[in-house]
Structure 1
Amino acid sequence: MKTILVGIAVWLSALACYAQADTTQVRKKKERTIELSGEVYDSFTKAKVKALITLMRSDSTFVDSMTCWTWSTSSYYQFKVPAKNADYIIKASAEGYNDTTMNYKLRHIARNSWFELPRILMKKKQRSDDDIYKEVGLGGVVVTGTKVKLAYRGDTLVYNASAFNLPEGSMLDGLIRQMPGAELKDNGDIYINGKKVDYLTLNGKDFFKGQNKVMLDNLPYYTVKELKVFDKSTKQSELIGHDVEKKDYVMDVQLKREYNRGLMGNIEGGYGTDKRYMGRLFGLYYDDHSRVSVFANANNVNETHRPGAEGEWTPSNTPQGLRSMKQTGLHIETEDADKNWETNLDAVFAWDDADNMSRTSSERFATGGNILGGSESWSRQKDFRFQAFDYFQIKKPVTLWGTLNVTYTNGHRTNGSQDSTYRESLINQSFNDGLTRYRTLNLSGTIGLHHKFAWGDYLMGGLTGSYTRQKPSDSWTMNRTLFTQTSNTDLRHNYADTHSDNYSYEAEFGYYLQLLNRWFIGANASYTQSLDNSNNLRYRLDRLAEDKLQTEWLPSTHEELKSVIDLNNCDEQQLLTRTASTTLEVMHSSDNEYFSFSLPIKNPHERLYYNDFAGLDTIARRSYVEIAPSISWSRWGKKNGLNSLGYSMNMSRPSLADLMPVDDTTNPLVTTINNPDLKPTLTHNVNIGFQFNNDSIRRFIRVWSNASLTQHSIGTRTIYDTATGVYTYMQDNINGNWNWNLGTSYEQPLDSAKRITLQQRFSVDYLHSVDFDVVYESYKPFEEYDFLKSTVHNWTLNEHLGVEYQKDKLTIGISGEIDWRRSTSHRANFENISAFDYNYGGLLRYTIPWVELNIATDIRMYSRRGYQSEMMNTDDLVWNAELARSLFNEKLTLKFTAFDLLHQLSNKQYSVNAQGRTETWNNCIPRYLMLSVAYKFNKQPKK
């Protein structure tokens, strides 16, 4: 360990010398520059002003000029000047305002790479006819042309919302589903050309951060001007003024100008066949310094896809089960006029009711003969959830920031299942009914401090704390297992109390040394302490003479309950962890590139008190050193060629509780034995990305690849009892697991008018899956068996090709997609698998001019071939349609929706690994017809 640390210190010293030497060489070739940046606002309202900024020397000679970038509530400018003492004049000019000048003396440069200038406050001209937002007439000139759907502006990919043809009443999710290169998952995750968007913002500000669906489902499409996709500096980097962390990949929703100030809202409700309903309300108040929004929605349609979109009812995108949802939320964001403080509050109340059913066909690979299984299950889960999150920042007299998060969940779940196992004949059957009740409270908060020294270095510190309590966490299960070969029956009525609580806190301190030429070397140290208490108490109610054979039932006295405690499957745990950590970082940031090398070193000390109630009452201790280096480089914008490259290494260890020499026999068909000899798992990840763009012909190409190698991954040694069908499991380390994928996306117009667009996506994935083979014996100690390795090679190829034609209010598209799965193995009794999922279809969206009737429809065939279960080899033709008509100047919209007209929609999934294959069917929402009414309004302030 000392050798590693000495080597790192020497390496960092050499790198620092290199950076300084590199700076000296650069100075010889090119004069060093620094950045001057500032903001421009209205002197009275403190609203942003998009001004022309001119930089001049003290004698008024011209140096440079630029128009301010406007972002959210900010108007920002930046100049690069020689890194030497000088006097400057900054002049701001804007239509409707008096010219404003400011003198600035550049001094004390040291190692600073930038300086923040005082704000420029501009006064409006007195003439009332001067309005910076006045409309400019074109004297009868008619301008026509094809609207550009997407383009690059510097380093930002911009989608023009008005270039898309959407049905009346569409929300933001409908717009994103149509954007070229965009993919929207059902859980709200957004991918642009294969790269996941970290989060959504609204006009540059966080909006229910991490909960994309709030904005996707409730923000009307007609309010959106454009969507910008770019790499955004983190809060930490914004505080410092330069990137000291990897940028977030963000999609910002820019509202139209008329919705940036005032009040707007919409309300929609509908009812349909099979008792389907939906209703939602959204209201937004917005001014120069505040935003308040409320939303509420309720529905049992369990589906966010809209007719007229491409479809994509793939297993990952089709919500399984029947779900009714009710939620309401509040968002408040405000700042003072001088922008010295800001706060952002989100609060959400949600009620969910989910009804799920599934059927599964499985095959467990084994050299002695594969083991087949079939099961059916159902569950009904009802939850209430409350979450509130607040972020605040104070910039003067010191920079302080903090967060506060509260999450509360209360719910219960009823479930049941039927399972069977067979080879040449039926081996066993089991029937289960269960009930679970739970309540969870989580509190967490953070406060941070940032300070920049005059010479350019940065000091940061922070405190973080959290508390979680889960109580009650109770479950009842009724289990009846029939062993057909021995004619025995096992009947169990179990009750489990698994309540827990934990706390943690962390203190962190960091210092960043700013070198010349925008290099940074940083180090931080932290101390963390956590205490986790868990109680896993299990009882066999079937051993009571008065057992009522009801799922939710407990005896009348505590003493009776204690008398049937399942000692072999109970435990109490208390884990105290103290961790000292340090991180060394080297970073380089430029206008469109970022490089980072990070070396976190952790030294946890763990103390576990463990009592299993069956004889093991002990205290275990463990200390170790964990290193997780990472290196990354990224370039954003429209430059062609390599634009991302990264490597990271992660280390994970089995918990101390998993190393205790105990077993678990709560399930009559499964015995689990802990393995005290488990080693840490080490995972290496590599990623690389290329980008090629041509704005003149709007051709966009992206290529990416990722690879992962896992050392000492966790496998499962399995013994199978052929007479009873009982499995005995023990985890153990195994090597040989790795995966690799390659993906491309391509888009280009096919005609000069750019009305016909070709879209293509391709990906190939390979998974090398290794695990232990199953042993067909049960008469020797576990450690005496020789477990062979089972290796399965999985290839998945995906190709999507689509063509879309759009002119005015007409959109026609056709597309197709194919997934090919190939699984092979050299093991005995393995039948190679070659399966295809493919779909093809088209869409139509059109507005009939003389009646202003919007028509949207899509039809798609989903087919599967090559699966071993016939329930998977199907053809499902899914057809949806929608008619919409707007009245009263588009304030009121009537809509008729037909979902899954042919009643063919289904949810089916397939997976293969080294242990076996699984084919699963899940229930999903039935077809329905729905009539809905939507009303929208907006009120603008008087000018």
Structure 2
Amino acid sequence: MKRLVQLILLLFIVINSAYSQINIKGRILDKADDKPLTNASIILLNRDSVLRYFNRANEEGKFQVKNIKPGSYIILATYPKFELYSDTIQIADKDLDLHDIKINSQRNVLQEVIVTRRLPITLKGDTIEYDAASFATEKNAKLEDLLRRLPGFTVTGDGSITAQGKSVQKVFIDGEEFFGYDPKIAIRNVRADAVDKVQLYEKKSEEAELSGIDDGVRIQTVNVVLKEKARKGVFGNMEALAGSKELYAGNLFAAKFNKTERIGITASHNNMGSSSGREGSLRMNNQITGAPLNTNLGANYENQFFKKALKVNANYGYDNNSNRNHSETYNKNVLPDESIQEKNSKNDNERHSRSNGLRSNLNMRLDSTQTMELQSNANWANNSNLTYTDSKTGDGSGNPISDFRENNQSNSSSSNNNFRLNYRKRLKAGRSVNLMVGNNHKESNSDSKVYSRTYFYKTGDSTIIDQDRHGRNSGNDFNSSINFNNRISDYINLALGYSFNHSKNTNTQNSTDNITQKFDSLYSQNQIDNNTNQGVNINFSYRKEKLEINFSNRTFYKNQKLNDSYRSIDLARNFWDNNLNVDANYRLSNSKNIRLAYQSSNIIPSFDQLQPLQPQTNPLFQQVGNPDLKRAVNNNISANYNAFSLLKGTNININGNLSFVNNPIVNKTTILDNSAQISTYENLSGKSNWNGGLNINHMQPLANRRINFNKSANVRFNNSYSYTKFEGGQSGGEFLLNNAKNTNFSLGSSLNEQDSEGFDFDLSANAGLNIQQNSINTQYNATSFQGGTSAYVKYFLPKKFNIMANIFYSYTGPTKLYKKSINQFYTNIELEKKVLKDESMTLSVKAFDLFNTFNNTRRNASDTNYSESVQQVLTQYFLVGVKWDFNKYLGKGND
């Protein structure tokens, strides 16, 4: 009987196994002539891209893969010198016949492109990979120069990167951040000849990666893969500059790479106003504001220990900066009764700041299923500031209204430290649990002496403020969360989470009147803010073949309290808050992608907006809260389409968004006839603040791909509301609702050629219209033209001489209130000579704003308030410099 039971069980297992193992078959053919591709490889990968089954085609091109478990697979068909065939198949409960699979020879795929040993650009899933050796750069060039040569990339003079029409926010070196506090250090100093590949992709947000909850945020990311030999060596550069007006700058960068260990240091000292080592960059508008003095030091250390189970990243930064500056602002405020108040302000400022910052990140793999990460940061800073303000307000006809003068001298110190611990455990069957605990603590102290005199011409009254102010702020923010992820199937993932946050902040300012020696409560506060938030979140994601959908919803219960004993304020509230995010991504093909997203969130009025009276800052401005404010609801819709052709080298990117706020919280300003203002807030029912935009970028190569031709079109529209009342006007002291509309149209194009032969150039031009409209005082509505052009040219001369020029021009048209147009023009030029056998040293002579033509006037507009400002700047100056690039081993040798 026992043997019979065993036999029955064995038979059941065999039958069940036979019914659960499926076979697939098909035939691999040359698409050009239907000839069989003998010995073609057939590969089946699971959803995690792990190889599960493999076979080859016979002489007739036929293949069969047996005993496949049901599920979803990626099938690959490969044959030497033929394109890679890829598709997703679903194995159910019966055999599958794929019939004929026809693939192209690479000669047909690449059309007129000559196939060499290396392909300049390849697609690997969602990643675009550039082969660095396929793009020529100068000797001793940096990663920044290499990126400028990659199709679809642009790099501005200050080091900002745009790729495929999107701003790049992260730059990794071999998958890790280098000098995490300033990612631009990597592109400015890592050598181009040390780079093997440049990868471009979109990564999830740091919060999503740590918690396991996909929030739908995607970050445009560049990962630089170094050559194997470049992972060990010493490299860096030293630069010294001196010039007219007693200008000088010195910069140092040095790094040592040793497989997993990376050590780097940076240092700079200059009186040219930059803390980034870009003082000698010809591509930038190097206007020097005020009289700056900067000293910066930095150090970075990375390594891996215990067979790469522990990753360590730490960096330190020191900054010591100061400046003296003079600025002037000319403001025109159009009042509801069509009159104008004009304010002319002069400001002299001297500031000093010194800070130390330390950041560290420890990532430990406890075992094959557990990881733990600890992030910690600390910062200490001291600041001093001396400001003198002289402001005069008139009625637009030359008659004075008020005169305000103030001296303010302050000193402050602050400290901030925080940590965040993340633990992740992978469970069975695609499940995982994530735990997070973090805390942030901050403190600051300040002392200031304030003396101001405000004179009102209409009444002949004056107000004098002579005070000592002592401030102390402290805060502690504790947060934690637990999230559970469950892969329900190959396509569906569900995540549930809970979060808890508690914060307490104390903000105290004690003001003493030096004339009466009494405490002044009007300019003081003793505010204690307590917040406790608890929330649950759910995330649902679906990913199958070309479609990816993410849905997340976060619901919070918030308990908030604010108390101020100086002003008898005791506010408390409890409420629910909800944030919704939905996004869908559909891959039309390997090179075409469309993405749609929707977000909904509440705009909760802050306690600053609710409390009846804020501490006053000066007699001309008073902030009054509205305790009856209600929340507003913000809705945002965005769409993106991207298409990239490897064969043609073209790219088109279209971005659109629309955001609207229901029941918006709007400003409500009362302007007195003595020019003082009282500001409060109010919900506006029945109307919405909204804005939208559309941006189109298209790139295509010209002249056998030697030149990149970029075109762009952009339109943005903003619609907002605000209340204004002028008590001295003819409107009877009633509030008038102003509807401000602002529309911007612009068109742009650029031509870029950089192959380090003959001459390189980067030319761009743009033109647009700015339309500003208000529902009150419509006589000042205006349409102004804006445009500009720039040109960067580098000519390679014999004997290792090079000459460069950067020419910039912009135009801002006149308006109804400012009759003069603004023309900004400058020309920078440089002559350089490379010396030494390896061309590692460069001697240069540079001239900035050669013709002394730059106009630093800035113009701004907001609702019915218009302003122009100028600053003390130095634009024309000359520099001589020497720069030495040193390199031991890194990237050297033949490929």
The normalised TM-score by structure 1 is: 0.77
Return the alpha-carbon distance in structure 2 between the equivalents of residues 421 and 81 of structure 1: 87
1:855 matched residue in structure 2: 803
Q: Letter of the 1:822 partner, please give it.
A: I
Q: Letter of the 2:862 partner, please give it.
A: N
Pick from 377, 396, 403: which aligns with 1:405?
Answer: 377
Contact preservation (8 Å) 2:267, 2:298:
yes
Deviation at 1:274, TM superposition (A): 1.1
1:44 matched residue in structure 2: none
After superposing the two structures, state which structure 1 stretch, 482-491 or 738-747, moved more.
482-491
Q: Letter of the 2:496 partner, please give it.
A: A
1:582 matched residue in structure 2: 536
Pick from 686, 695, 712: which aligns with 1:743?
Answer: 695
Residue 215 of structure 1 aligns to a residue whose secondary structure is helix
Contact preservation (8 Å) 1:373, 1:419:
yes
2:427 matched residue in structure 1: 453
1:195 aligns with 2:166: yes
2:38 matched residue in structure 1: none
Return the alpha-carbon distance in structure 1 between the equivalents of residues 775 and 858 of structure 2: 25
2:750 matched residue in structure 1: 802
Contact preservation (8 Å) 2:583, 2:597:
yes
Residues 260 and 602 of structure 1: CA distance in aligned 2, closer, same or farther (over 3 Å)? same
Residue 821 of structure 2 aligns to a residue whose secondary structure is coil
Residue 272 of structure 2 aligns to a residue whose secondary structure is coil
1:882 aligns with 2:796: no
Pick from 473, 476, 482: which aligns with 1:500?
Answer: 473
Return the alpha-carbon distance in structure 2 between the equivalents of residues 150 and 716 of structure 1: 52
RMSD: 3.9
Q: What is the correspondence of 1:295-306 to structure 2 with a 5 Å cutoff?
A: 295-302=266-273
1:432 matched residue in structure 2: 406
Pick from 667, 670, 682: which aligns with 1:719?
Answer: 670
Contact preservation (8 Å) 1:813, 1:844:
yes
Deviation at 1:533, TM superposition (A): 1.1
Contact preservation (8 Å) 2:272, 2:279:
no
Residue 259 of structure 1 aligns to a residue whose secondary structure is helix
Contact preservation (8 Å) 1:146, 1:754:
no
Q: Deviations over 1:241-285 (max 9, x none)?
A: 997864432122344554321111211111111122221111111
Deviation at 1:499, TM superposition (A): 1.5
After superposing the two structures, state which structure 1 stretch, 855-864 or 789-798, moved more.
855-864
Deviation at 1:690, TM superposition (A): 0.8
1:351 matched residue in structure 2: 320
Q: Deviations over 1:118-161 (max 9, x none)?
A: xxxxxxxxxxxxxxxxxxxxxxxxx9999998775553345566
2:200 matched residue in structure 1: 229
Q: Letter of the 2:835 partner, please give it.
A: L
Return the alpha-carbon distance in structure 2 between the equivalents of residues 355 and 175 of structure 1: 38
Deviation at 1:650, TM superposition (A): 2.4
Residue 498 of structure 1 aligns to a residue whose secondary structure is strand
Residues 84 and 830 of structure 1: CA distance in aligned 2, closer, same or farther (over 3 Å)? same
Return the alpha-carbon distance in structure 1 between the equivalents of residues 379 and 752 of structure 2: 44
Residues 454 and 581 of structure 1: CA distance in aligned 2, closer, same or farther (over 3 Å)? same
1:43 matched residue in structure 2: none
Residue 628 of structure 2 aligns to a residue whose secondary structure is coil
Return the alpha-carbon distance in structure 2 between the equivalents of residues 871 and 207 of structure 1: 50
2:853 matched residue in structure 1: 904
1:443 aligns with 2:434: no
Q: Letter of the 2:296 partner, please give it.
A: Q
Residues 356 and 906 of structure 1: CA distance in aligned 2, closer, same or farther (over 3 Å)? farther
1:938 matched residue in structure 2: 887
Deviation at 1:218, TM superposition (A): 4.2
Residues 385 and 664 of structure 1: CA distance in aligned 2, closer, same or farther (over 3 Å)? closer
1:756 matched residue in structure 2: 707
1:520 matched residue in structure 2: 493
1:97 matched residue in structure 2: none
Return the alpha-carbon distance in structure 2 between the equivalents of residues 420 and 286 of structure 1: 59
Q: Letter of the 2:376 partner, please give it.
A: L
Return the alpha-carbon distance in structure 2 between the equivalents of residues 727 and 148 of structure 1: 65
- Unaligned runs of at least 5 residues, structure 1: 1-23, 39-53, 64-78, 86-108, 110-142, 545-562
Residue 318 of structure 2 aligns to a residue whose secondary structure is strand
Residue 780 of structure 2 aligns to a residue whose secondary structure is coil
Contact preservation (8 Å) 1:297, 1:327:
yes
Contact preservation (8 Å) 2:430, 2:487:
yes
Pick from 579, 585, 606: which aligns with 2:560?
Answer: 606
Q: Letter of the 1:789 partner, please give it.
A: L
Residues 798 and 359 of structure 1: CA distance in aligned 2, closer, same or farther (over 3 Å)? farther
Deviation at 1:380, TM superposition (A): 2.1
Residues 83 and 144 of structure 1: CA distance in aligned 2, closer, same or farther (over 3 Å)? closer
2:79 matched residue in structure 1: none
1:838 matched residue in structure 2: 787
Return the alpha-carbon distance in structure 2 between the equivalents of residues 870 and 148 of structure 1: 55
- Unaligned runs of at least 5 residues, structure 2: 1-19, 27-42, 58-64, 72-90, 92-113
Return the alpha-carbon distance in structure 1 between the equivalents of residues 432 and 204 of structure 2: 17
Residues 174 and 377 of structure 1: CA distance in aligned 2, closer, same or farther (over 3 Å)? farther
2:871 matched residue in structure 1: 922
Return the alpha-carbon distance in structure 2 between the equivalents of residues 657 and 196 of structure 1: 34
2:681 matched residue in structure 1: 731
Contact preservation (8 Å) 1:683, 1:709:
yes
After superposing the two structures, state which structure 1 stretch, 880-889 or 187-196, moved more.
187-196
Residues 149 and 274 of structure 1: CA distance in aligned 2, closer, same or farther (over 3 Å)? farther
Q: Deviations over 1:588-611 (max 9, x none)?
A: 346876432111111111232321
Q: Letter of the 1:353 partner, please give it.
A: S
2:357 matched residue in structure 1: 387
Deviation at 1:338, TM superposition (A): 2.5
Contact preservation (8 Å) 2:216, 2:581:
no
After superposing the two structures, state which structure 1 stretch, 700-709 or 374-383, moved more.
374-383
Return the alpha-carbon distance in structure 2 between the equivalents of residues 495 and 920 of structure 1: 31
Alignment identity in percent?
18
Contact preservation (8 Å) 1:610, 1:657:
no
Residue 335 of structure 2 aligns to a residue whose secondary structure is coil
Structure with greater strand percent: 2
Q: What is the correspondence of 1:559-598 to structure 2 with a 5 Å cutoff?
A: 563-589=517-543, 594-598=548-552
Pick from 255, 266, 273: which aligns with 2:237?
Answer: 266
Deviation at 1:226, TM superposition (A): 5.2
Q: What is the correspondence of 1:9-88 to structure 2 with a 5 Å cutoff?
A: 34-35=46-47, 83=69
Residue 251 of structure 2 aligns to a residue whose secondary structure is strand
Return the alpha-carbon distance in structure 2 between the equivalents of residues 567 and 291 of structure 1: 55
Return the alpha-carbon distance in structure 2 between the equivalents of residues 765 and 789 of structure 1: 23
Return the alpha-carbon distance in structure 2 between the equivalents of residues 930 and 82 of structure 1: 71
Contact preservation (8 Å) 2:402, 2:456:
yes
After superposing the two structures, state which structure 1 stretch, 167-176 or 766-775, moved more.
167-176
Residues 56 and 157 of structure 1: CA distance in aligned 2, closer, same or farther (over 3 Å)? closer
Contact preservation (8 Å) 1:383, 1:412:
yes
Return the alpha-carbon distance in structure 2 between the equivalents of residues 597 and 938 of structure 1: 50
Pick from 460, 471, 488: which aligns with 1:487?
Answer: 460
1:540 aligns with 2:492: no
Deviation at 1:500, TM superposition (A): 0.6
Deviation at 1:365, TM superposition (A): 2.9
Deviation at 1:187, TM superposition (A): 7.2
Q: Deviations over 1:719-746 (max 9, x none)?
A: 2222x22222222223431111111111
Q: Deviations over 1:211-255 (max 9, x none)?
A: 233334544556555543211355677689997864432122344
1:894 aligns with 2:866: no
Q: Letter of the 1:912 partner, please give it.
A: A
Return the alpha-carbon distance in structure 2 between the equivalents of residues 320 and 680 of structure 1: 42
1:420 matched residue in structure 2: 392
Residues 837 and 449 of structure 1: CA distance in aligned 2, closer, same or farther (over 3 Å)? same
Q: Letter of the 2:46 partner, please give it.
A: I
Residues 774 and 402 of structure 1: CA distance in aligned 2, closer, same or farther (over 3 Å)? same
Deviation at 1:408, TM superposition (A): 1.6
Return the alpha-carbon distance in structure 2 between the equivalents of residues 150 and 813 of structure 1: 22
